[in-house]
Amino acid sequence: MRSTLRVAVLCVAVASSLIAISTAQTHYFPPAGAWAKKAPADVGMDAAKLDAAIAFAKTKETTWPKDFSTQEKIFGSLLGPIPKERASTNGLIIRHGYIVGEFGDTSDPDPTYSVAKSMLATVAGIAVREKLITNLDQPVGATVHDGGYDSAHNAPVTWRQHLQQETEWEGEMWGKKHDFVGTVAFGDGERKPRALQAPGTFYEYNDVRINRFSLSMLRLFKKPIPEVFRDEVMNVIGASNTWQWIPYDNSYLEIDGKKMPSVSGGTRWGGGVWINAQDMARFGYLWLRGGRWGNRQIIPPDYVKTALTPSAHGPDYGFLWWLNTQGKSMAGLPTNAFEARGAGSNTIFVSPNHDLVVVWRWHSNASAEFFKMVVDAIQPASTAR
């Protein structure tokens, strides 16, 4: 009887694996160094409407100067490098996994600003997969012992709160304080002083706290976050070798006798993820496919689902991803659509309903209009698969 039961369990496991493999194989995943293109008609899109959308996007380049001369005025005094010049507006449109539209130089690696936060959320998903984080609601200080969570205020801060930007963590990271007061340190984006709330009760978009989160994950992995992201994500999805995750000049520390960089969740004070649109599209496509690439589940599916669930206090915000649950964040687009957003503007738009990924870089905050034009180019009878 026990032998028969073991055989039955094994058969079910094998069948489940075969179903997962079959499901993965119904989708196209671009190999490293190549990405197949299809005509719009071949993926159920109207070529004229798609051309009109792309023509619109080309007219909506950001007003940011090419030379980043306003960087410190906008964001405050630099801690790390910034490029000499940004690229012009550029983008990619991916449907059913294939490139159906492209404009500008999509191979030029540039800072992607807070899109890096969604990449940090992905690294956290790897930590969950590897059981370095076994409970998102556990206080970070239970496993990270570097003084950052010793105070009575910071002690309750959890991994989930970091991912939802609801920690209210108090302190200083790499010379920048959590309170965002003072234009020299924080630029035009400073906020007025306010009383701290209890962790988990208040949302604030705060780069200092994100940098604390990144350092905490470095403590878990004991390996630089860029190397984790490279080995566990970017190399697996066939990304190029042109992207970089650049630390601040002063964000180095010693772990187990080795000097390691702690990276930021953006380019607010320089550094951050410098990447091209093609690699950003691969990253977005990984999330469209629920964290799976080919036959490999890179990010646990339960984590992906939770990451795309709105937090209690954020503005339709998940785990460092922007959501559209209320239909307001991306008006006129599906409520299950989600975005990675960075200043400049740099955007990865994902619509599961349309099996669609759109990357648009260096635009003038006209993303919702452009994405609606792309969606409108999809033939009514053509559904996501």
Using the 8-state DSSP alphabet, how is residue 141 labeled? G
Q: How many CB atoms lie within 10 A of CB 225?
A: 26
Q: Is the pLDDT of residue 196 over 90?
A: yes
Domain segments of the chain as ranges:
10-376
Structure tokens at 232: 């566990």
Question: In this structure, which topology does domain 10-376 adopt according to CATH?
Answer: Beta-lactamase (3.40.710)
Which of left, alpha, beta for 50 (phi over 0: left; psi -120 to 50: alpha)?
Answer: alpha
Q: How many CB atoms lie within 10 A of CB 252?
A: 13
| Listed range (23-37, 155-169, 269-283) with the worst mean pLDDT | 23-37
- CA distances to 4, 112, 181, 278 from 104, rounded to whole Å, are 61, 16, 38, 11
| Listed range (133-142, 182-191, 279-288) with the worst mean pLDDT | 182-191
Q: Is the pLDDT of residue 385 over 80?
A: no
Q: Taking CA 268 as the corner, what is the angle to CA 88 and CA 148, rounded to the nearest 5 degrees?
A: 150
What pLDDT score does 189 carry? 85
Query: Which residues have a Cβ under 8 Å from the Cβ of 77 and sit 6 or more positions away?
Result: 184, 185, 269
Tens of pLDDT, residue by residue over 350-365, are 999 999 999 999 999 8
Half-sphere exposure of 375 (CA within 13 A, CB side): 21
Q: Are 220 and 50 in contact (CB under 8 A)?
A: no
SS (H, E, C) 207-219: HHHHHHHHHHHHH
